[in-house]
C-alpha cells in the first residue's frame, strides 16, 4: 500500500480524508498488514476474508467498527442486523454481530481516496482458544 494523499486534520467528518484519519487510529490499535492493506491475519478461504482472534470478539469487533465509522453517515441495517456507515469518497463499512459463520464480522470497502491505503476485505472476529 502506498502512502496515499496527505492533508490536514481538519476535514468534514464524513469526508474520505476523515475516514483516513480514522483508519490511522484503528491501525494503531488493531493488527494491520500494510503489505495487503487488510486488518487481521489471513483466514481460511475465501482469500478476501481475514481473521482476528481474541478473548472478546464482540467487544473488539464493535471497537474496530466505532474507530473506523467515526463521523460517517451511519445507520442501522435492515432488521436491526447490524450497523453500517459510508463516507463521501464511497468508503463503506458494515458490522454484523453474527455473520453467516456465527461470529461477529466487519466488511470494509474503501472508496476512491481510501483505496490508496487499504483493500476491500471482511474480518471475522473469533474467540481465542
CA distance 105 to 49: 10
- The conformation of residue 90, written as its DSSP 8-state character, comes to S
Q: At what angle do helices 16-29 and 57-69 cross, to 10 degrees?
A: 150
All three cell numbers of 103, joined, read 461470529
Q: Smallest distance from the beta carbon of 9 to another protein, in angstroms?
A: 22
Choice between 5 and 56, CB closer to another protein: 5
Choice between 21 and 95, CB closer to another protein: 95
CA distance 80 to 13: 24
Enumerate binding residues for another protein (CB under 8 A): 36, 44-49, 73, 75, 84, 86, 88-90, 92, 94, 100, 107-109, 111-112, 115, 119-122
Q: Smallest distance from the beta carbon of 118 to another protein, in angstroms?
A: 10
Q: Hey, CA dihedral for 101, 31, 73, 57, is it positive or negative?
A: positive
Q: Smallest distance from the beta carbon of 49 to another protein, in angstroms?
A: 7
Choice between 42 and 56, CB closer to another protein: 42
Q: Smallest distance from the beta carbon of 58 to another protein, in angstroms?
A: 20
CA distance 83 to 129: 27
Choice between 56 and 75, CB closer to another protein: 75
Place of cell 481538519: 10
Amino acid at each position: 500500500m502506498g502512502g496515499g494523499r496527505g492533508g490536514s486534520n481538519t476535514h468534514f467528518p464524513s469526508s474520505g480524508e476523515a475516514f483516513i484519519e480514522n483508519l490511522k487510529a484503528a491501525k494503531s490499535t488493531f493488527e494491520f498488514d500494510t503489505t495487503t492493506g487488510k486488518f487481521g491475519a489471513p483466514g481460511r478461504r475465501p482469500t478476501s476474508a481475514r481473521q482476528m482472534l481474541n478473548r472478546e470478539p464482540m467487544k473488539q469487533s464493535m471497537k474496530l467498527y466505532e474507530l473506523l465509522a467515526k463521523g460517517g453517515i451511519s445507520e442501522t441495517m435492515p432488521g436491526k442486523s447490524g450497523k453500517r456507515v459510508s463516507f463521501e469518497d464511497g468508503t463503506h463499512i458494515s458490522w454484523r454481530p453474527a455473520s453467516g459463520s456465527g461470529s461477529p464480522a466487519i466488511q470494509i470497502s474503501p472508496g476512491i481516496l481510501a483505496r490508496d491505503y487499504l483493500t476491500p476485505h471482511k474480518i471475522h472476529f473469533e474467540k481465542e482458544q
